Structure 1
Amino acid sequence: MQHIKYFVLARTNPDPKAPASKAFTGFIVEQEWEGVTPGRKVAAAAVGLAQRCLDEATRYSLERKTFGVPIAHHQAVAFMLADMAVGIETGRLAWMKSAWQIDNGIKNTFVASIAKCYAADMANKCATDAVQIFGGNGFNSEYPVEKLMRDAKIYQIYEGTTQIQRLIISRLLIDRAKQTV
Protein backbone atom coordinates (compact mmCIF):
# COMPACT_ATOMS: atom_id res chain seq x y z
CA MET A 1 0.00 0.00 0.00
CA GLN A 2 1.36 3.39 -1.02
CA HIS A 3 1.19 6.20 1.52
CA ILE A 4 0.26 9.59 0.15
CA LYS A 5 2.60 12.34 1.25
CA TYR A 6 2.21 16.09 0.93
CA PHE A 7 4.81 18.81 0.80
CA VAL A 8 3.70 21.70 3.00
CA LEU A 9 5.39 25.08 2.86
CA ALA A 10 4.59 26.99 6.05
CA ARG A 11 5.59 30.43 7.23
CA THR A 12 7.59 29.84 10.40
CA ASN A 13 9.06 33.33 10.75
CA PRO A 14 6.37 35.89 11.64
CA ASP A 15 8.51 38.85 10.52
CA PRO A 16 6.78 40.17 7.34
CA LYS A 17 10.09 41.64 6.13
CA ALA A 18 11.96 38.33 6.39
CA PRO A 19 13.13 37.06 2.99
CA ALA A 20 11.24 34.01 1.74
CA SER A 21 14.34 31.83 2.15
CA LYS A 22 14.29 32.56 5.88
CA ALA A 23 10.52 32.93 6.42
CA PHE A 24 9.29 29.53 5.22
CA THR A 25 10.03 25.94 6.20
CA GLY A 26 9.11 22.88 4.13
CA PHE A 27 7.57 19.79 5.72
CA ILE A 28 6.64 16.34 4.41
CA VAL A 29 3.38 15.09 5.96
CA GLU A 30 1.43 11.86 5.53
CA GLN A 31 -2.20 12.06 4.46
CA GLU A 32 -3.16 9.63 7.23
CA TRP A 33 -1.66 11.72 10.03
CA GLU A 34 -4.07 13.12 12.59
CA GLY A 35 -4.87 16.74 11.82
CA VAL A 36 -4.05 16.49 8.11
CA THR A 37 -7.07 17.39 6.01
CA PRO A 38 -6.33 17.49 2.30
CA GLY A 39 -8.24 19.96 0.21
CA ARG A 40 -7.97 21.91 -2.98
CA LYS A 41 -7.85 25.65 -3.29
CA VAL A 42 -10.03 27.45 -5.64
CA ALA A 43 -9.03 30.95 -6.82
CA ALA A 44 -10.08 32.87 -3.69
CA ALA A 45 -6.56 33.62 -2.47
CA ALA A 46 -5.49 35.04 -5.84
CA VAL A 47 -8.59 37.24 -5.89
CA GLY A 48 -7.77 38.42 -2.38
CA LEU A 49 -4.25 39.37 -3.43
CA ALA A 50 -5.62 41.22 -6.47
CA GLN A 51 -8.09 43.09 -4.24
CA ARG A 52 -5.21 44.19 -2.02
CA CYS A 53 -3.35 45.42 -5.11
CA LEU A 54 -6.38 47.45 -6.14
CA ASP A 55 -6.85 48.85 -2.63
CA GLU A 56 -3.20 49.91 -2.38
CA ALA A 57 -3.10 51.36 -5.91
CA THR A 58 -6.34 53.29 -5.37
CA ARG A 59 -5.14 54.75 -2.08
CA TYR A 60 -1.78 55.72 -3.59
CA SER A 61 -3.39 57.20 -6.70
CA LEU A 62 -5.46 59.52 -4.52
CA GLU A 63 -2.38 60.66 -2.56
CA ARG A 64 0.14 61.03 -5.40
CA LYS A 65 -0.27 64.19 -7.44
CA THR A 66 1.00 65.23 -10.84
CA PHE A 67 0.14 68.48 -12.57
CA GLY A 68 -1.62 69.54 -9.37
CA VAL A 69 -4.19 66.71 -9.28
CA PRO A 70 -4.24 63.17 -7.84
CA ILE A 71 -3.07 60.69 -10.45
CA ALA A 72 -6.39 58.84 -10.01
CA HIS A 73 -7.94 61.69 -12.01
CA HIS A 74 -5.77 60.93 -15.04
CA GLN A 75 -7.65 58.71 -17.46
CA ALA A 76 -4.78 56.23 -17.92
CA VAL A 77 -4.62 55.52 -14.18
CA ALA A 78 -8.41 55.58 -13.75
CA PHE A 79 -8.80 52.99 -16.52
CA MET A 80 -6.13 50.76 -14.96
CA LEU A 81 -8.02 50.86 -11.65
CA ALA A 82 -11.30 50.12 -13.45
CA ASP A 83 -9.77 47.16 -15.32
CA MET A 84 -8.41 45.80 -12.04
CA ALA A 85 -11.91 46.01 -10.51
CA VAL A 86 -13.46 44.23 -13.51
CA GLY A 87 -10.91 41.42 -13.28
CA ILE A 88 -11.33 41.04 -9.52
CA GLU A 89 -15.12 40.84 -9.65
CA THR A 90 -14.98 38.36 -12.54
CA GLY A 91 -12.45 36.21 -10.67
CA ARG A 92 -14.58 36.37 -7.53
CA LEU A 93 -17.65 35.18 -9.45
CA ALA A 94 -15.67 32.32 -10.99
CA TRP A 95 -14.44 30.88 -7.68
CA MET A 96 -17.85 31.41 -6.10
CA LYS A 97 -19.47 29.41 -8.91
CA SER A 98 -16.92 26.65 -8.38
CA ALA A 99 -17.64 26.60 -4.63
CA TRP A 100 -21.40 26.64 -5.30
CA GLN A 101 -21.02 23.59 -7.53
CA ILE A 102 -19.20 21.67 -4.80
CA ASP A 103 -21.83 22.72 -2.25
CA ASN A 104 -24.52 21.38 -4.57
CA GLY A 105 -22.86 18.07 -5.37
CA ILE A 106 -21.87 19.09 -8.91
CA LYS A 107 -18.46 18.07 -10.22
CA ASN A 108 -16.56 21.34 -10.54
CA THR A 109 -13.33 20.43 -12.33
CA PHE A 110 -14.10 22.57 -15.39
CA VAL A 111 -15.19 25.70 -13.49
CA ALA A 112 -12.49 25.28 -10.80
CA SER A 113 -9.80 25.13 -13.49
CA ILE A 114 -11.24 28.20 -15.19
CA ALA A 115 -11.40 30.05 -11.86
CA LYS A 116 -7.82 29.16 -10.90
CA CYS A 117 -6.38 29.93 -14.33
CA TYR A 118 -8.22 33.22 -14.69
CA ALA A 119 -7.63 34.40 -11.11
CA ALA A 120 -3.92 33.58 -11.24
CA ASP A 121 -3.38 35.54 -14.45
CA MET A 122 -5.62 38.36 -13.25
CA ALA A 123 -3.78 38.64 -9.91
CA ASN A 124 -0.49 38.94 -11.77
CA LYS A 125 -1.90 41.65 -14.04
CA CYS A 126 -3.34 43.54 -11.05
CA ALA A 127 0.02 43.35 -9.27
CA THR A 128 1.84 44.57 -12.37
CA ASP A 129 -0.65 47.41 -12.82
CA ALA A 130 -0.36 48.37 -9.15
CA VAL A 131 3.43 48.59 -9.50
CA GLN A 132 2.91 50.71 -12.63
CA ILE A 133 0.60 53.10 -10.76
CA PHE A 134 3.17 53.41 -7.97
CA GLY A 135 5.82 54.25 -10.58
CA GLY A 136 9.34 54.17 -9.18
CA ASN A 137 7.93 53.58 -5.71
CA GLY A 138 6.48 50.31 -6.99
CA PHE A 139 9.93 48.72 -6.65
CA ASN A 140 10.60 50.24 -3.26
CA SER A 141 10.27 47.72 -0.42
CA GLU A 142 8.73 50.47 1.75
CA TYR A 143 5.57 50.10 -0.33
CA PRO A 144 3.51 46.87 -0.33
CA VAL A 145 3.01 46.41 -4.07
CA GLU A 146 6.60 45.30 -4.59
CA LYS A 147 5.97 42.22 -2.43
CA LEU A 148 2.46 41.70 -3.79
CA MET A 149 3.91 41.42 -7.29
CA ARG A 150 6.35 38.74 -6.15
CA ASP A 151 3.61 36.94 -4.19
CA ALA A 152 1.21 36.96 -7.16
CA LYS A 153 3.46 34.72 -9.24
CA ILE A 154 2.90 31.66 -7.03
CA TYR A 155 -0.74 31.50 -8.12
CA GLN A 156 0.37 30.75 -11.68
CA ILE A 157 2.60 27.93 -10.44
CA TYR A 158 1.23 25.97 -7.49
CA GLU A 159 -1.56 23.38 -7.48
CA GLY A 160 -1.28 23.08 -11.24
CA THR A 161 0.25 25.79 -13.37
CA THR A 162 -2.00 27.97 -15.48
CA GLN A 163 -0.79 25.94 -18.47
CA ILE A 164 -1.99 22.73 -16.78
CA GLN A 165 -5.32 24.40 -16.00
CA ARG A 166 -5.64 25.32 -19.68
CA LEU A 167 -4.88 21.71 -20.61
CA ILE A 168 -7.61 20.47 -18.24
CA ILE A 169 -10.08 23.03 -19.61
CA SER A 170 -9.33 22.18 -23.23
CA ARG A 171 -9.61 18.42 -22.64
CA LEU A 172 -12.96 18.84 -20.90
CA LEU A 173 -14.19 21.07 -23.74
CA ILE A 174 -13.13 18.50 -26.32
CA ASP A 175 -14.76 15.66 -24.34
CA ARG A 176 -18.02 17.63 -24.13
CA ALA A 177 -17.93 18.37 -27.86
CA LYS A 178 -17.40 14.67 -28.67
CA GLN A 179 -20.47 13.77 -26.61
CA THR A 180 -22.70 16.06 -28.67
CA VAL A 181 -21.46 14.85 -32.06
Structure 2
Amino acid sequence: MLTVGDKFPSFKLQAVKGGAEGLGGPGKSFTEITNESDAGKWKIVFFWPKDFTFICPTEIAAFGKLNGEFADRDAVVYGASTDSEFVHLNWRVHNDDIRDLPFAMLADTKRELAESLGILDKNEGVALRATFIVDPDGTIQWASVNGLNVGRNPQEVVRVLDALQTDELCPCNWEKGKDTLDPAKLFEQAA
Protein backbone atom coordinates (compact mmCIF):
# COMPACT_ATOMS: atom_id res chain seq x y z
CA MET A 1 0.00 0.00 0.00
CA LEU A 2 1.25 3.50 -0.79
CA THR A 3 1.87 5.51 2.34
CA VAL A 4 3.14 8.79 3.76
CA GLY A 5 5.73 10.43 1.51
CA ASP A 6 4.62 8.60 -1.64
CA LYS A 7 3.20 10.52 -4.59
CA PHE A 8 -0.51 9.93 -5.06
CA PRO A 9 -0.90 8.11 -8.40
CA SER A 10 -2.04 9.83 -11.56
CA PHE A 11 -5.65 9.04 -12.42
CA LYS A 12 -8.42 10.00 -14.82
CA LEU A 13 -11.86 8.75 -13.76
CA GLN A 14 -15.51 9.33 -14.52
CA ALA A 15 -17.48 10.62 -11.55
CA VAL A 16 -20.91 11.65 -10.41
CA LYS A 17 -20.80 15.37 -9.63
CA GLY A 18 -21.42 16.50 -6.09
CA GLY A 19 -24.48 18.46 -5.04
CA ALA A 20 -27.63 18.98 -7.09
CA GLU A 21 -25.62 18.77 -10.35
CA GLY A 22 -25.03 15.11 -9.55
CA LEU A 23 -28.74 14.40 -9.74
CA GLY A 24 -29.26 15.81 -13.23
CA GLY A 25 -29.34 12.36 -14.82
CA PRO A 26 -27.07 10.64 -17.34
CA GLY A 27 -25.26 13.15 -19.52
CA LYS A 28 -25.71 15.92 -16.94
CA SER A 29 -24.60 14.23 -13.75
CA PHE A 30 -21.17 13.06 -14.85
CA THR A 31 -17.77 14.67 -15.06
CA GLU A 32 -14.18 13.58 -15.43
CA ILE A 33 -11.84 14.04 -12.48
CA THR A 34 -8.08 13.64 -12.63
CA ASN A 35 -5.20 14.02 -10.21
CA GLU A 36 -4.84 17.54 -11.73
CA SER A 37 -8.40 18.56 -10.77
CA ASP A 38 -8.54 21.06 -7.92
CA ALA A 39 -4.81 21.76 -8.26
CA GLY A 40 -3.27 23.55 -5.30
CA LYS A 41 -5.76 22.13 -2.80
CA TRP A 42 -5.45 19.46 -0.16
CA LYS A 43 -7.35 16.33 -1.18
CA ILE A 44 -9.18 13.82 0.96
CA VAL A 45 -9.61 10.65 -1.10
CA PHE A 46 -11.52 7.82 0.50
CA PHE A 47 -12.62 4.46 -0.88
CA TRP A 48 -15.47 2.17 0.05
CA PRO A 49 -15.96 -1.45 -1.09
CA LYS A 50 -19.34 -1.44 -2.88
CA ASP A 51 -22.37 0.71 -3.54
CA PHE A 52 -25.76 -0.45 -2.22
CA THR A 53 -24.24 -1.89 0.95
CA PHE A 54 -24.72 -1.18 4.65
CA ILE A 55 -21.64 0.42 6.25
CA CYS A 56 -20.63 2.45 3.19
CA PRO A 57 -23.51 4.96 3.16
CA THR A 58 -22.96 5.73 6.86
CA GLU A 59 -19.36 6.72 6.12
CA ILE A 60 -20.17 8.57 2.91
CA ALA A 61 -22.93 10.57 4.63
CA ALA A 62 -20.59 11.40 7.52
CA PHE A 63 -17.95 12.73 5.10
CA GLY A 64 -20.71 14.68 3.35
CA LYS A 65 -21.77 16.35 6.62
CA LEU A 66 -18.16 17.46 7.15
CA ASN A 67 -17.66 18.73 3.59
CA GLY A 68 -17.90 22.37 4.70
CA GLU A 69 -15.22 21.80 7.33
CA PHE A 70 -12.92 20.32 4.69
CA ALA A 71 -13.65 23.23 2.33
CA ASP A 72 -12.82 25.69 5.14
CA ARG A 73 -9.40 24.01 5.25
CA ASP A 74 -8.86 24.42 1.49
CA ALA A 75 -9.44 20.70 0.95
CA VAL A 76 -11.66 18.84 -1.49
CA VAL A 77 -13.20 15.46 -0.83
CA TYR A 78 -13.39 12.66 -3.39
CA GLY A 79 -15.16 9.41 -2.57
CA ALA A 80 -14.45 6.35 -4.70
CA SER A 81 -15.28 2.73 -5.26
CA THR A 82 -14.88 0.24 -8.08
CA ASP A 83 -18.53 0.67 -9.08
CA SER A 84 -19.42 2.61 -12.24
CA GLU A 85 -20.67 6.18 -12.36
CA PHE A 86 -24.08 4.79 -13.39
CA VAL A 87 -24.26 2.66 -10.25
CA HIS A 88 -23.13 5.65 -8.14
CA LEU A 89 -25.88 7.82 -9.65
CA ASN A 90 -28.56 5.19 -9.12
CA TRP A 91 -27.45 4.72 -5.51
CA ARG A 92 -27.55 8.48 -4.83
CA VAL A 93 -31.02 8.76 -6.33
CA HIS A 94 -32.36 5.88 -4.21
CA ASN A 95 -30.59 6.47 -0.89
CA ASP A 96 -31.83 9.36 1.25
CA ASP A 97 -28.58 9.48 3.26
CA ILE A 98 -26.39 10.28 0.24
CA ARG A 99 -28.85 11.90 -2.19
CA ASP A 100 -27.54 15.41 -1.43
CA LEU A 101 -23.89 14.39 -1.27
CA PRO A 102 -21.78 17.52 -1.83
CA PHE A 103 -18.67 15.86 -3.28
CA ALA A 104 -17.90 13.77 -6.36
CA MET A 105 -18.14 9.98 -6.38
CA LEU A 106 -15.29 8.57 -8.47
CA ALA A 107 -15.80 5.41 -10.55
CA ASP A 108 -12.63 3.30 -10.50
CA THR A 109 -14.24 0.61 -12.66
CA LYS A 110 -10.94 -0.72 -14.04
CA ARG A 111 -9.57 -0.82 -10.47
CA GLU A 112 -6.45 0.99 -11.69
CA LEU A 113 -6.34 3.62 -8.95
CA ALA A 114 -7.20 1.17 -6.15
CA GLU A 115 -4.60 -1.25 -7.48
CA SER A 116 -1.88 1.39 -7.80
CA LEU A 117 -2.63 2.48 -4.21
CA GLY A 118 -2.42 -1.15 -3.08
CA ILE A 119 -5.86 -1.18 -1.46
CA LEU A 120 -7.70 -3.96 -3.30
CA ASP A 121 -9.00 -6.68 -1.00
CA LYS A 122 -7.25 -9.89 -2.05
CA ASN A 123 -10.36 -12.06 -1.68
CA GLU A 124 -13.18 -9.77 -2.80
CA GLY A 125 -11.39 -7.70 -5.46
CA VAL A 126 -12.97 -4.48 -4.16
CA ALA A 127 -11.37 -1.49 -2.47
CA LEU A 128 -10.72 -1.63 1.24
CA ARG A 129 -11.96 1.27 3.38
CA ALA A 130 -8.88 3.39 2.69
CA THR A 131 -8.48 7.11 3.32
CA PHE A 132 -5.70 9.36 2.09
CA ILE A 133 -4.86 12.97 2.88
CA VAL A 134 -2.87 14.37 -0.05
CA ASP A 135 -1.09 17.72 0.15
CA PRO A 136 -1.27 20.37 -2.60
CA ASP A 137 1.93 18.97 -4.13
CA GLY A 138 0.32 15.53 -4.61
CA THR A 139 2.19 13.81 -1.78
CA ILE A 140 0.37 11.48 0.60
CA GLN A 141 0.60 12.91 4.11
CA TRP A 142 -1.70 10.44 5.87
CA ALA A 143 -3.03 7.00 4.97
CA SER A 144 -5.44 4.78 6.85
CA VAL A 145 -7.14 1.54 5.93
CA ASN A 146 -9.88 -0.51 7.58
CA GLY A 147 -11.14 -3.97 6.74
CA LEU A 148 -14.38 -4.41 4.87
CA ASN A 149 -16.49 -4.81 8.03
CA VAL A 150 -15.42 -1.72 10.05
CA GLY A 151 -16.37 1.88 9.30
CA ARG A 152 -13.99 4.79 9.80
CA ASN A 153 -14.28 8.09 11.67
CA PRO A 154 -14.34 11.07 9.26
CA GLN A 155 -14.01 13.51 12.18
CA GLU A 156 -10.56 12.00 12.80
CA VAL A 157 -9.64 12.85 9.19
CA VAL A 158 -10.52 16.50 9.91
CA ARG A 159 -8.41 16.41 13.09
CA VAL A 160 -5.40 14.96 11.25
CA LEU A 161 -5.78 17.48 8.41
CA ASP A 162 -5.77 20.28 10.98
CA ALA A 163 -2.61 18.88 12.53
CA LEU A 164 -0.88 18.49 9.18
CA GLN A 165 -1.73 22.04 8.20
CA THR A 166 -0.07 23.46 11.34
CA ASP A 167 3.32 22.23 10.09
CA GLU A 168 4.14 21.89 13.80
CA LEU A 169 4.61 19.02 16.24
CA CYS A 170 1.17 17.93 17.43
CA PRO A 171 0.85 15.67 20.48
CA CYS A 172 -1.49 12.73 20.91
CA ASN A 173 -5.17 13.73 20.62
CA TRP A 174 -4.21 17.27 19.60
CA GLU A 175 -7.15 19.37 18.40
CA LYS A 176 -7.31 22.64 16.48
CA GLY A 177 -6.83 25.58 18.81
CA LYS A 178 -4.70 23.67 21.31
CA ASP A 179 -0.99 24.20 21.79
CA THR A 180 1.49 22.39 19.60
CA LEU A 181 4.81 21.16 20.98
CA ASP A 182 7.81 23.46 21.03
CA PRO A 183 11.00 21.35 21.32
CA ALA A 184 13.05 24.31 22.59
CA LYS A 185 10.65 24.84 25.49
CA LEU A 186 10.58 21.11 26.24
CA PHE A 187 14.39 21.02 26.44
CA GLU A 188 14.38 24.11 28.70
CA GLN A 189 11.87 22.45 31.04
CA ALA A 190 13.95 19.27 31.18
CA ALA A 191 17.17 21.16 32.03
TM-score, structure 1 as length reference: 0.23
Q: Which structure exhibits the higher relative contact order, with contacts defined as CA atoms closer than 8 Å and separated by 6 or more residues?
A: 2
Structure whose CA Rg is larger: 1
TM-score, structure 2 as length reference: 0.22
Larger proportion of helix: 1
Larger proportion of strand: 2
